[in-house]
């Protein structure tokens, strides 16, 4: 299996957010109390802070972003970063509408704008090129997977419909859901490919969550989701660490990569929309197997301690003493979702020290992150707490 995961496993942007911190060495002299001072306000849903970051994200969406605004040295990765900026923006706007229902109309409209951008042909070009010039929206009758594009897009559209029952995406959401459901049911592994001969449980989490939400909206059976969750616990979660396997063999569904932090921390965020219990179990495993603090700064390892001598890759960013940039950034969302204020504060201290936030009266912007960094942290910092179990 090729080691070419989709955008959400390729979070090099979080490297930019933490490079200035030098991860551990600077933690000794950057006052943790200063860097974490806003964490309680973020954790408890401070409206002023959330709206200020939302305005910065809205400004990015109003700019004519293209692949050329990103610099990964790969057309595919640049395209994924562009796509990811709009996708994470859409999720953040959804969460703002949830947390501040009096502003639902505004944020539903902003979410609609983000989805419109996701649908543009140049934005989906990265996936088209990866599938030998087969467009994901023009090949819904095929057996191709296109999980990298369709799963995340369909999730955004399903969530938008929960805000706006008259959503203009109803027909397309139903059409994509029908195609994805058919592909999942036809797969002996209950997984579909992200790219040709590449299959990742994380991307399939978004596929299945989108189908679950679509089925609920349409008062249809969610039995497929129940079967998939059972299969996930049995096949795609490492029984020793409790972490999500990063990749699986595209033919057999057997693990093709180790259980890792970068996929697990983001996967538990998406799964919270469908199965809060499974999401909580993954977060518990992250805390047990991967989480640490140093001088009050929070960090998350990429691999459990039982897996030795692994270096960083495009998924994790560079590893420093085994700690992962991607895992650390995405764990912020899990800490808020699962009511963990202390670790949220430690993780926020790291993100703040590295992200160089610039706060004005009406805007909040992570200077080192650019459009994708702002969008990712917008989604993670506004992730919605689950009902306490």
Q: pLDDT 10s digit of each residue in the chain, 389 long?
A: 444 445 444 455 555 454 444 444 454 445 788 888 999 999 999 999 999 999 999 999 999 999 998 877 788 888 998 999 999 999 999 999 999 999 999 999 999 999 999 999 999 999 999 999 999 999 999 999 999 999 999 999 999 999 999 999 999 999 999 999 999 999 999 999 999 999 999 999 999 999 999 999 999 999 999 999 999 999 999 999 999 999 999 889 899 999 999 999 999 999 999 999 999 999 999 999 999 998 889 999 999 988 887 877 666 667 778 888 888 889 999 999 999 999 999 999 998 887 777 888 788 977 667 899 899 999 999 999 998 64
- Tokens 């950034």 belong to residue: 329
CA atoms in the 13 A half-sphere facing the CB of 194: 26
Contact 125, 135 (CB under 8 A): no
The span from the CA of 296 to the CA of 274, in Å, is 32
- What pLDDT does residue 367 have? 66
The span from the CA of 80 to the CA of 365, in Å, is 21
For residue 324, what are the β-bridge partners? 300
Asked whether residue 81 is domain-assigned, the answer is: yes
> For 123-224, where are the E strands, in sequence order?
none
CB atoms under 10 Å from CB of 55, counted, come to: 14
Q: 344: domain CATH number?
A: 1.50.10
Asked whether residue 22 is domain-assigned, the answer is: yes
- Tokens 């305005």 belong to residue: 55
**Domain of residue 322, residue span:** 7-381
The span from the CA of 335 to the CA of 223, in Å, is 29
Asked whether residue 163 is domain-assigned, the answer is: yes
pTM comes to: 0.91
Asked whether residue 1 is domain-assigned, the answer is: no
- What pLDDT does residue 321 have? 82
Asked whether residue 387 is domain-assigned, the answer is: no
Asked whether residue 389 is domain-assigned, the answer is: no
The span from the CA of 362 to the CA of 83, in Å, is 26
Asked whether residue 388 is domain-assigned, the answer is: no
Asked whether residue 186 is domain-assigned, the answer is: yes
CB atoms under 10 Å from CB of 259, counted, come to: 25
- What pLDDT does residue 315 have? 65
The span from the CA of 169 to the CA of 167, in Å, is 5
Lookup: tokens for 115: 């989805």
The span from the CA of 204 to the CA of 240, in Å, is 22
Phi-psi region of 30 (alpha: psi -120 to 50; beta: other; left: phi over 0): beta
Contact 297, 25 (CB under 8 A): no
> For the chain, where are the E strands, in sequence order?
291-294, 297-301, 323-324, 357-359, 364-366
**Coil vs helix vs strand at 133:** coil
What is the number of domains present in the chain?
1
The span from the CA of 80 to the CA of 141, in Å, is 24
Longest dimension (CA), the chain: 57
């Amino acid at each position: 299996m090729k080691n070419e995961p989709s955008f959400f496993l390729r979070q090099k942007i979080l490297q930019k957010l933490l490079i200035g911190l030098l991860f551990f060495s600077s933690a000794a002299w950057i006052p943790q109390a200063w860097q974490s001072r806003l964490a309680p306000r973020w954790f408890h849903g401070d409206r002023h802070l959330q709206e200020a970051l939302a305005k910065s994200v809205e400004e990015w969406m109003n700019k004519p972003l293209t692949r050329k605004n990103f610099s990964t040295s790969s057309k595919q990765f640049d395209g994924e970063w562009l796509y990811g900026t709009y996708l994470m923006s859409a999720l953040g706007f959804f969460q703002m509408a949830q947390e501040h229902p009096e502003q639902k109309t505004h944020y539903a409209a902003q979410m609609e704008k983000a989805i419109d951008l996701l649908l543009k042909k140049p934005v989906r070009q990265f996936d088209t090129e990866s599938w030998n010039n087969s467009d994901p929206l023009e090949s819904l009758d095929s057996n191709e997977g296109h999980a990298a594009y369709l799963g995340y897009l369909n999730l955004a559209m399903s969530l938008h419909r929960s805000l706006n029952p008259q959503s203009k995406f109803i027909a397309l959401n139903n059409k994509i859901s029908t195609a994805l459901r058919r592909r999942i049911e036809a797969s002996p592994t209950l997984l579909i490919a992200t790219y040709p001969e590449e299959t990742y449980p994380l991307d399939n989490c978004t596929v299945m969550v989108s189908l679950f939400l679509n089925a609920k909206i349409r008062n249809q059976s969610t039995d497929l989701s129940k079967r998939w969750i059972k299969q996930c616990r049995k096949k795609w979660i490492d029984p020793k660490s409790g972490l999500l396997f990063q990749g699986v063999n595209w033919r057999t569904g057997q693990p093709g990569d180790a259980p890792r932090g970068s996929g697990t921390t983001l996967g538990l965020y998406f799964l919270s929309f469908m199965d809060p219990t499974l999401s909580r179990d993954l977060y518990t495993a992250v805390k047990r197997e991967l989480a640490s603090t140093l001088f009050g700064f929070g960090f998350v390892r990429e691999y459990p301690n039982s897996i030795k001598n692994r270096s960083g890759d495009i998924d994790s960013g560079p590893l420093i003493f085994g700690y992962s940039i991607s895992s650390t950034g995405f764990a912020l969302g899990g800490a808020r979702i699962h009511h963990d204020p202390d670790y949220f504060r430690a993780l926020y201290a790291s993100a703040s020290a590295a992200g160089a936030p610039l706060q004005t009266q009406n805007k909040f912007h992570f200077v080192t992150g650019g459009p994708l960094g702002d969008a990712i942290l917008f989604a993670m910092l506004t992730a919605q707490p689950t009902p306490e179990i």
